[in-house]
């Protein structure tokens, strides 16, 4: 599941005359990526793409001059409709909401500038139209005429929408990012310190203004609000090791979780992902996903239940 900031995805899959019958199959991975970036849920993204598939087959395909533009427009508009209900659901969501985590043991070639979880959360604060304009133009390489058709706005308005979104995203990008390997070293150090309950060691890894968020969705124990500051975050994670009957988490996999260095772990039968936004060798943000609804795919990858 990819889509890089600054690395435009060209229209290589655009159907040529006489090939519209297979256009959807070629574009499906790209359409799922667009929908996931819009919605933050793989399941919802796949539902949207399936709906687009049904609409495609009810369409006179021979009359479609540009299958890529048609399918992109269809998926985008379905996502915009979906976002209306998604946002209302998130207003009643229990605790912090995080996107469904996507795990990669190794980054795919050319994906160094992918949208990270931190940047996806920045997009969550935008309007649906700003988000769509930015993703279609800046991430998926659509020209503004195509974006305008997809979201039913004038090209000039789409430029403004994308520019506003770009400013928010730029502010969320790390100024001093670290390599994947260095990021995983820091993640390992964090897990080691938290399992030993060493507050001092934890604080040495954290930025002063670090924030930690945990998504349990009301189905798993998790902090009900973001935890702010190195002292509070260090005490929170170290505190588990000092509880009676503490069982250290077992690391199942290390890699990238939505573009950030992270770890998949199992503790007392509970699956979770933990990933870290790191800037200048210090952890600036920690994102923990424990909601079992969002961990089914990763659980299947690891051979454990996310329930």
Task: Look at residue 49 in the predicted model and tell me its pLDDT.
Answer: 96
In-domain check, residue 279: yes
In-domain check, residue 61: yes
The last residue of a domain, from among 113, 139, 172: 172
Same domain, 24 and 113: yes
Q: Could you tell me which residues come within 8 angstroms of residue 274 by beta carbon, excluding any fewer than 6 positions away?
A: 187, 191, 257, 262, 263, 265, 286, 287, 288
Tokens of 291: 């909601």
In-domain check, residue 249: yes
Helix count (H) and strand count (E) of the chain?
11, 7
The tally of domains found in the chain comes to 2
Tokens of 173: 């990008």
Q: Where would I find the H helices in the chain?
A: 20-39, 42-57, 67-91, 117-124, 128-134, 144-151, 155-172, 180-196, 199-205, 230-239, 296-302
Task: Look at residue 108 in the predicted model and tell me its pLDDT.
Answer: 62
Q: What's 255's domain CATH number?
A: 3.10.450.50
Same domain, 24 and 167: yes
Same domain, 56 and 151: yes
Same domain, 41 and 163: yes
Instruction: For the chain, 307 residues long, give each residue's pLDDT as a single digit of tens.
Output: 443 333 333 344 443 444 445 778 898 999 999 999 999 999 999 999 999 999 998 888 888 888 888 999 999 999 999 887 777 677 788 999 999 999 998 766 544 446 789 989 998 889 999 999 999 999 888 999 999 999 999 999 999 999 999 988 887 777 787 889 999 999 999 999 999 999 999 999 999 999 999 999 999 999 999 999 999 999 999 999 999 988 899 999 999 999 999 999 999 899 999 999 999 899 999 999 999 999 999 999 998 875 6
Task: Look at residue 107 in the predicted model and tell me its pLDDT.
Answer: 65
Q: What is the C-alpha to C-alpha distance for residues 239 and 255, in angstroms, rounded to an integer?
A: 26
In-domain check, residue 289: yes
Residue-range definition of the domain harbouring residue 228 = 180-302
Task: Look at residue 9 in the predicted model and tell me its pLDDT.
Answer: 39
In-domain check, residue 72: yes
Q: What is the C-alpha to C-alpha distance for residues 208 and 283, in angstroms, rounded to an integer?
A: 9
Task: Look at residue 109 in the predicted model and tell me its pLDDT.
Answer: 53
In-domain check, residue 288: yes
The last residue of a domain, from among 113, 148, 172: 172
In-domain check, residue 93: yes
Task: Look at residue 114 in the predicted model and tell me its pLDDT.
Answer: 61
Same domain, 286 and 196: yes
In-domain check, residue 10: no
The last residue of a domain, from among 113, 143, 172: 172
Q: What is the C-alpha to C-alpha distance for residues 221 and 214, in angstroms, rounded to an integer?
A: 9
Same domain, 66 and 164: yes
């Amino acid at each position: 599941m990819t889509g890089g900031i600054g690395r435009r995805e060209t229209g290589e899959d655009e159907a040529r005359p006489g090939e519209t019958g297979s256009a959807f199959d070629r574009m499906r991975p790209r359409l799922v990526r667009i929908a996931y970036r819009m919605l933050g849920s793989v399941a919802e993204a796949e539902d949207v793409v399936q709906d687009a598939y049904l609409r495609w087959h009810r369409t006179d395909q021979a009359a479609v001059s540009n299958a890529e533009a048609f399918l992109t427009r269809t998926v985008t508009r379905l996502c915009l409709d979906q976002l209306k209900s998604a946002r209302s659901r998130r207003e009643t969501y229990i605790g912090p909401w995080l996107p469904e985590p996507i795990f990669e043991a190794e980054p795919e070639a050319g994906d160094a500038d992918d949208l990270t979880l931190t940047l996806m959360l920045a997009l969550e604060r935008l309007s649906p139209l700003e988000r769509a304009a930015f993703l279609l133009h800046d991430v998926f390489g659509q020209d503004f005429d195509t974006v305008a058709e997809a979201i039913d706005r004038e090209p000039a308005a789409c430029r403004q929408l994308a520019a506003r979104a770009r400013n928010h995203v730029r502010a969320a990008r790390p100024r001093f990012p670290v390599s994947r390997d260095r990021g995983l070293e820091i993640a390992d150090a964090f897990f080691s310190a938290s399992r030993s309950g060493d507050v001092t060691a934890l604080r040495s890894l954290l930025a002063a203004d670090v924030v930690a968020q945990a998504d349990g969705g009301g189905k798993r124990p998790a902090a009900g609000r973001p935890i702010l500051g190195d002292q509070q975050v260090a005490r929170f994670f170290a505190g588990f090791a000092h509880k009676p009957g503490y069982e250290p988490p077992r690391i199942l996999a290390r890699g990238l979780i939505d573009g950030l260095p992270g770890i998949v772990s199992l503790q007392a039968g509970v699956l979770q992902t933990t990933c870290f936004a790191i800037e200048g060798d210090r952890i600036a943000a920690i994102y923990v996903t424990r909601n079992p609804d969002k961990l089914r795919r990763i659980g299947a990858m690891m051979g454990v239940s996310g329930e």
